[in-house]
């Protein structure tokens, strides 16, 4: 229903007309942009399910933006599907001064927003920290969609499973072994309900593993290929369903819900798109110190997540300054520390001076975090967003019902 509304609005509405002051902003050099941003407010719409991430934004980012640039940051917790529909509704109404200034976004939501003309840009190449610290090739694509400067790198992610080594000393390390483990341990496993991004990533990884790998899907969506391959995934998940937590009658709403079940001992595994998430939870006292992470031998998804500025933001200069600050070595280093968030840096460490690079390398990621070489060994890329959308719809039709 959400996507149907989005598609109808995209079809019925033309692009938002640029505000009169946009050409002036686009002609400014960076010091002028910073001057125009001073005194502004940035309403940052982002997933709000992680307390440690919320705290980092509210306390560190907000304080730094206020001190350095005189910008007030207001974090607005909202799932991506909800803020996408908010953007589309404002677009349909022709609202020139929107209610969102900065988005935490990637994947199918970026694709849909870009295609609908909802984003301001190109902007990334105008940001000094993008120019200095980002490998443009690494930020050129987002789930198969060219970014073309319409979103700004924020962090990097890779999918891991979390388990308590005191409870489950030998976790299953392939999807075939996972199916056997679930059958032998009924009620001890579940996953977030797609289209939650973590639940969607779980079924996407299983899709790769059960159908011959990701390479065949690194191209525009092919309905015939999808229809021939996807039934293996539906059968796998249907067979698993009766042995899931709550007998598969319900699923956690999101990854935060799954984390809670895991922390309570109701299930034996959680999962995250952030390799240091478990260590952050240990430091927060939410997980026991015996929690560790692992990745499947079948592969582990990795991607980049981004920020973007809506086309109808009335505070574009302030949003640009905020996005640029989030890319700074100082912010990326703070974000990398599991005591704050544990999100991997979006900047290229090779572009840093030696002293700054040494500070990143000295960050203690903790015993629950896999080393970078272990993650890289089994890393697999995301496929174009149209495949993701088909998988989420197919899961709803073939597994949920």
Inside any domain, residue 16:
no
Looking at the fold, whether 165 and 298 belong to one and the same domain comes out as yes
**Number of domain units in the chain:** 2
pLDDT digits (tens, 9 = 90+) for 57-95: 999 999 999 999 999 999 999 988 899 999 999 999 999
Please give the helix or strand (H or E) that residue 65 lies within, else none.
Answer: helix 62-69
pLDDT above 90 as % of the chain: 91
pTM of the model: 0.86
Give the Å distances, CA to CA, from 343 to 14, 115, 299, 315, 333: 37, 28, 20, 27, 9
Looking at the fold, whether 47 and 59 belong to one and the same domain comes out as yes
Nearest-CA neighbor of 392 among 194, 159, 193?
194
Looking at the fold, whether 365 and 389 belong to one and the same domain comes out as no
Region 128-156: mean pLDDT is: 96
Residue, of 4 and 297, whose pLDDT is higher: 297
Would you say 167 and 233 are in contact if contact means Cβ atoms under 8 Å apart? no
Looking at the fold, whether 133 and 221 belong to one and the same domain comes out as no
Would you say 209 and 174 are in contact if contact means Cβ atoms under 8 Å apart? yes
Would you say 64 and 31 are in contact if contact means Cβ atoms under 8 Å apart? no
pLDDT at 14 exceeding the cut of 60: no
CATH code, domain with 92: 3.40.190.10
Nearest-CA neighbor of 364 among 385, 341, 389, 338?
338
User: What is the distance between the alpha carbons of residues 183 and 203, in angstroms, rounded to a whole number?
Assistant: 18
User: What is the distance between the alpha carbons of residues 319 and 321, in angstroms, rounded to a whole number?
Assistant: 5
Name the average pLDDT for the chain: 93
Looking at the fold, whether 121 and 223 belong to one and the same domain comes out as no
Contacts of residue 221, defined as CB under 8 A and 6 or more positions apart, other chains included, come to 384, 386, 387, 390
Looking at the fold, whether 138 and 237 belong to one and the same domain comes out as no
Nearest-CA neighbor of 149 among 175, 131, 174, 169?
131
Inside any domain, residue 6:
no
Looking at the fold, whether 175 and 298 belong to one and the same domain comes out as yes
pLDDT at 19 exceeding the cut of 70: no
Q: In sequence order, what are the beta bridge partners of 115?
A: none
Give the range of the structural domain holding residue 67, as residue numbers without chain letter: 36-156+303-369
Region 113-127: mean pLDDT is: 96
Region 239-252: mean pLDDT is: 98
């Amino acid at each position: 229903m959400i996507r149907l509304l989005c598609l109808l609005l995209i079809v019925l509405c033309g692009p938002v007309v640029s505000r009169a002051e946009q050409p002036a902003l686009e002609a400014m050099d960076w010091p002028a942009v910073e001057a125009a941003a001073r005194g502004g407010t940035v309403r940052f719409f982002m997933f709000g399910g992680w307390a440690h991430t919320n705290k980092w934004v509210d306390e560190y980012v907000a304080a730094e933006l206020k001190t350095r640039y005189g910008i007030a940051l207001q974090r607005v917790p909202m799932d991506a599907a909800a803020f996408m529909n908010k953007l589309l509704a404002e677009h349909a109404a022709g609202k020139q001064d929107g209610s969102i200034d900065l988005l935490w976004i990637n994947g199918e939501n970026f694709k849909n927003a870009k295609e609908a003309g909802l984003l301001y840009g190109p902007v990334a190449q105008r940001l000094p920290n993008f120019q200095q610290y980002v490998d443009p090739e690494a930020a050129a694509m987002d789930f198969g969609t060219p970014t073309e400067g319409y979103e700004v790198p924020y962090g990097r992610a890779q999918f891991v499973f979390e388990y308590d080594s005191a409870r489950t000393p030998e976790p299953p390390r392939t999807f075939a072994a996972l199916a056997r483990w679930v059958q032998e341990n009924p009620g001890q496993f579940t996953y977030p309900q797609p289209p939650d991004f973590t639940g969607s990533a779980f079924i996407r990884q299983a899709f790769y593993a059960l159908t011959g790998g990701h390479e065949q899907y690194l191209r525009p969506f092919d309905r015939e290929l999808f229809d021939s391959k996807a039934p293996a995934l539906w059968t796998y998940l249907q067979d698993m369903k009766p042995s899931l937590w709550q007998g598969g009658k319900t699923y956690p709403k999101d990854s935060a819900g799954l984390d809670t079940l895991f922390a309570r001992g109701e299930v034996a595994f959680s999962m995250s798109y952030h390799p240091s998430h478990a260590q952050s939870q240990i430091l927060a006292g939410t997980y026991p110190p015996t929690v560790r992470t692992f990745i499947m031998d079948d592969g582990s998804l990795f991607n980049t997540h981004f920020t973007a500025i809506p086309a109808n933001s009335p505070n574009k200069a302030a949003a640009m300054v905020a996005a640029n600050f989030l890319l700074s070595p100082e912010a990326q280093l703070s974000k990398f520390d599991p005591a704050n968030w544990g999100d991997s840096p979006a900047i290229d460490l090779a572009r840093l001076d030696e002293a700054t690079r040494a500070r990143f390398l000295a960050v203690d990621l903790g015993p629950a975090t896999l080393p970078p070489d272990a993650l890289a060994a089994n890393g697999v890329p995301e496929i174009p967003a149209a495949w993701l959308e088909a998988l989420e719809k197919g899961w709803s039709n073939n597994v949920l019902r």
